[in-house]
Each structure stands twice: as C-alpha cells, then as structure tokens.
Structure 1
Amino acid sequence: MLPLLWGFGLLVGSLLQANPADSVKLIPNLGYYVEMRQIDCVGNPNYFNSMYCKILPPNNRTMEASVVIMQKLTALSGSLRVSIPNAKKVITQIFDITFDVCKVLRERKRKVLIDLLVNTLARNSNAKAWKCPFQKGSFESRNISVTDLPPMLTESEFYVNLDFFIPKVAIGMNVTLHGHLYEIAKEKNRRRKYL
C-alpha cells in the first residue's frame, strides 16, 4: 500500500510542476467551497456611506459589495474574527486577528487568513491599486467568492465578523457573514448516496 501512495504522490507532484492549472482539473475531488447564508454590513456614515452587500443566488457561493468612502483615510485598521459551533452548538472563536490595513497592503508578508481576505476582496474590484491613503469615492467588488482555502479545514458552519476602524477615533464599518464550508469530495459522495 505504501509504494502505491508514494507513486501517487510522485505522479501528483510531477503534474503540479508541469502545469498547476491543468493538474487541478485532474484532481477534482480535492478542495472546498463556501455557501453563504446571511450577510449584513453597516457603516459609520461619517466615513463609509451607502454600504451594500448581497449574497448572489442561486448557489449562494458569490456576493457583491459596494461602499462610498466619505473622506480620505490615512489610517485604517481591521479586526477579523472567525467562529464555528461545536457539536453542542456552542460558538467557539477560532481566529481573532487585528491588523493595520495600510501595512498589510504595503507588505507582502501576510498571515494566510488576511492574505485570503485581501485577495478575495481585490478580485473583480474597481479599486485596482488598493493602497493607503484611501481616497474619497465609490468602491465596488462583484462576484466575490472564497477560493484557495487551506487544505487543513473541515466541513462546518462558520461565522465571520470583520470590523474596520480608524485607530483611537471611530468604528468605520462592520460586516458579518454566516455560512457553511463544504468539502467537495464529501458533498459528491452525499449526492451519489441520494441519487
């Protein structure tokens, strides 16, 4: 059995070196997808106005968001908290990260979760060069979807709370998201069972 697994590992490794995009198509059962169930966004009208966020049907795997920045922002911090319920439905916080948004955008050394957040929001956005200071104006992002999730996750319900604030001045905005993380291989097996 061990030589078989080792051989499979070599095959996958060589495929990934040859062309990573084609390799992903050959291994369709690996990975995750996120189904979003509820999203709420609220902004402090002195800094962020006309906030809009919506989960897009029919699959609830993408969303769109927009906001009007009311004044130039030279400093902006964020707080990202991720929680999951345990078997007894008690909510357990698994991540709690506070970060300087300007520093995160400037530097390339980011924590995995923050990097995922930045890449997800920047994709399909009209803010081509996200940088500080943030200029006054309208920003929007369409077809926001969560991809490239780390492989050590497990299927579960989740809650995300994202706050942006001006340090020592005011809370700027809050976004909360409730959803479910599905493992693609398990979901395919469940569908086969009922079909």
Structure 2
Amino acid sequence: MLPIIWWFGIIVCSLLRIQLTDTAKLMPNMGFYIEMKEMDCVGNPHYFADLYCRIITPRNRTMEASVKMVQPLTAFSGFLRVSIPNSKKVITQIFDITFDVCKVLRERKRKILIDLLVNTLAKNSNAKVWRCPFPKGTFESKNISVTDLPPMLSESEFFVNLDFFIPKVAIAMNVTLHGHLYEVAKERHRRKKYL
C-alpha cells in the first residue's frame, strides 16, 4: 500500500510542478510592456566620449547604449523625472527623484523606481560590477528592456528625463525617452477585436 501512495504522491507533485511551470511562463505576458518612440542622449565631453543610445526596431521594446568614460568619476548623482500627459494633453510630472548614484549602488535599500533603473541597466552590461568610483573605459549595455513594472501603473504615454551630474561641478549626461506603456490584457483584447 505504501508504494502506491508514494507513486501517487510523485505523480501529483509532477503535475503540480508542470502547472506551476506553465503559470510561470504566463507571468511575463501579464502586466505591462513599454514601447519606446524616441530616445536621445547627450554627454559632457569632459567626462564622456562616444556616447551612443538607440531604440532597437522593429518592436521598439528594447534599447542599447554605450559610453566611453574619459576620466574616473568618484562623486556622481542622478535626477530622474517621469511625466505623463493628462486627458487635455497637459504634461504632469509624476516622479521627481534626485539620488546619489554611488550611495544607490552601495546600499540595497532603494526606491522602487531607482532599483528598476539600476537593475535594467546592469542586466546586459559589460561592467562586471557597478560601483564607485567609476573607472575610465568603455561601458555598454545591450538589449535593455524595462520589466518588473509596479502594478499600480495604468496605460499611458510617458516622458523620462534622466540627468547625471557631478554635484556642484557639472551636468555629465542627459538621457530623454518618450514612449508608451501598454497593459498586456487590454492590448490582447484590442487585437482580438480587430483581427
């Protein structure tokens, strides 16, 4: 009797594992995805050379960037603004965060938006470890995609402005991004409606 129960337990566990695996495969299809429309990046030539960023077509859901650091950076801060247009097309700022890049990389307690930014940039980067001081050299990230978005968002067009600066010295880099946040479930419904 015991071997039968044992085999039954193995079969049930295998079926549950298959169902959990199938559920995990569905998770990336739930939530939101971002489609990028325009991206621009400008760097201060005293600190950065060969700055390059672009949206990868045709799906416009990933981007790549590369920069050559001309000199090491020991103090580095960022200023992140995220804005969305309201129903009357008036741009409303929804996030406005200033952060110390070195402190963010050193500590694990971060704001969700900054953590999302750090993880997104570090994911496919040639830098083995992101830490301060930043050494001279070329850094690149490929196939940068924004995932793990917070669930409290809603479909909307958005504008992102990210400034990196050396406190009380100079603006080092500016990155702007214009895109659209889509809810996966609504997008599927729209496609079914028109197809």
Say whether the fold is shared (TM-score over 0.5).
yes
Measured in 2, the distance between the counterparts of 1:27 and 1:131 equals 32
Alignment of 1:89-100 (within 5 A): 89-100=89-100
Backbone CA RMSD of aligned residues: 1.7
TM-score of the aligned structures, taking structure 2 as reference length: 0.88
23-32 vs 171-180, greater mean Cα deviation = 23-32
Give the corresponding residue for 1:69. 69
Q: Which runs of 5+ in 2 are unaligned?
A: 1-15
Measured in 2, the distance between the counterparts of 1:132 and 1:76 equals 8
- Identity rate, percent: 77
> Cα distance 1:32–1:75, how it changes in 2: closer, same or farther (>3 A)?
same
CA shift at 1:128, angstroms? 1.4
> Cα distance 1:22–1:73, how it changes in 2: closer, same or farther (>3 A)?
farther
TM-score of the aligned structures, taking structure 1 as reference length: 0.88
CA shift at 1:95, angstroms? 0.1
Q: Which runs of 5+ in 1 are unaligned?
A: 1-14
Work out which of the two has the higher radius of gyration on C-alpha atoms and give 1 or 2.
Answer: 2
Give the corresponding residue for 2:118. 118
Alignment of 1:49-60 (within 5 A): 49-60=49-60
Ranges of 4+ aligned residues in structure 1 off by more than 6 Å: none
Measured in 2, the distance between the counterparts of 1:50 and 1:160 equals 22
Q: Give the paired residue count.
A: 179
Measured in 1, the distance between the counterparts of 2:49 and 2:26 equals 45
Alignment of 1:30-45 (within 5 A): 30-45=30-45
The one-letter code sitting in structure 2 at the alignment partner of 1:44 is: N
85-94 vs 22-31, greater mean Cα deviation = 22-31
Give the corresponding residue for 2:185. 185
Give the corresponding residue for 2:165. 165
> Cα distance 1:103–1:27, how it changes in 2: closer, same or farther (>3 A)?
closer
Measured in 2, the distance between the counterparts of 1:28 and 1:125 equals 22
Give the corresponding residue for 2:132. 132
